[in-house]
Copies of this chain bind each other. A is one copy, B any other.
Amino acid sequence: MVDLSVDIGALRLANPVMPASGTFGHELARVIDVERLGALVIKTVTADKRIGNPTPRVAEVSGGMLNSIGIPSKGPKHFVEEIVPLYRRFRAPLVASISANTPDQFAEICATVSVPGVSAIEVNISCPNIEDDGRAFAMRPEPTLAVMKKLREASDLPLWAKLTPNSGEIQEVARAAEEGGANAIVVANTILAMSVDIRTRKPSLGKIMGGLSGPAVKPIILRMAYQCARSVSIPVIGCGGIMTAEDAIEYMLVGCRAVQVGTATFINPTAMLAVIEGLEQWCREQSLVSIREIVGQLGDAGDRGAMNWEGVA
């Protein structure tokens, strides 16, 4: 019997597999047994009410999809009163995801959603900070540190900082999040991208640009997860292009304590359960007692030829 449980700070998860925010809702319980998931991370809720971006909001690209949903939101009050209760019936811990336009708004909503029934808060700092002319908080270390400190003061719940892969300095941003009091970091959100329908000559998305997700992003996000895991001492949760247990194992080998699965669920609603089963089977094959044994166990690089690279070994 393999032990799949992992600890994200103080929070113990039955297994390292959870949905990625915005790709999961209680509706999935109509198709699969969501009780079996390590945690239930739900759609980001913003401090303000939003209708989201004009359609089309989704487009297909090679090896993935673009989305420009834009976080439609009914605000924190509706979230606490209407959404949180919907998840009471599930055993798996509920992880809220929040976002806001300014550090103060962010801290305010963070406090508001720190209610019983919420086990941790994923702070989606990949969204625009209007005080830094629209740049996402997590684009740079300074605003990341500033907002994390405010968030830390606003709540006693575990805070997971979700980073943006659009930053050119994600390691520094990860360190800033840790310094600011994050209990874990999630690597990462979608990569800004676009596509064009050459028949109509229009952008495929109503917002022109949107977030790329799916298998196409995996090698990029895996690299960032590896860099971040080596830069911080808090747990790193990998998220990007995970379709199979093999993908999840790659993320854990480079140092991730847990993983989030997003787009895969759209293709196959049972994808997360298949990842959990695949992890368990792989552990058995490798005769591992606990999945925790593989976290960060990346071997040395280089083939045999590399041994003589600059002279006889």
* Contact code string A188-231 (vs B, CB < 8 Å = 1, else 0): 00011111101011110111110010011111101100100000
Q: Does A9 contact B (CB under 8 A)?
A: no
* Given contact pairs A303-B56, A303-B206, A216 touches B63 in the complex (Cβ within 8 A): yes
Cα A313 to Cα B263 with chains together (Å) = 33
CA distance A216 to B64 in the complex (A): 8
Measured CA separation A226–B219 after assembly (Å): 23
Residue contact B219 to A194, C-beta cutoff 8 Å: yes
Closest to A173 in B: B168
What is the interface size of chain A, counting residues whose CB is below 8 A from a CB of the partner?
59
Are A222 and B193 interface neighbours, CB within 8 A?
yes
A119 in the interface (beta carbon within 8 A): no
A246 to B62 CA separation, bound complex (whole angstroms): 13
Contact with B along A43-87 (1 / 0, CB 8 A): 000000001001110000111101000000000000000000000
Q: Give the distance in Å from the alpha carbon of A300 to the alpha carbon of B201 in the complex.
A: 8
Copies in the complex: 2
Which chain B residues border A246 with CB–CB below 8 Å? 198
A193 to chain B, nearest CB (A): 4
> Roughly how many angstroms separate A226 CA and B201 CA in the complex, as a whole number?
14
Report which of B62, B139, B200, B305 forms a contact with A215, defined as CB distance below 8 A: B62
- 29 CB contacts below 8 A, A to B, read A54-B301, A54-B305, A54-B309, A55-B309, A62-B216, A62-B219, A62-B241, A63-B216, A139-B168, A166-B168, A191-B220, A192-B220, A193-B219, A193-B223, A195-B219, A195-B222, A195-B250, A198-B246, A198-B253, A200-B299, A202-B298, A202-B300, A203-B298, A203-B299, A203-B301, A206-B306, A209-B223, A209-B226, A212-B219
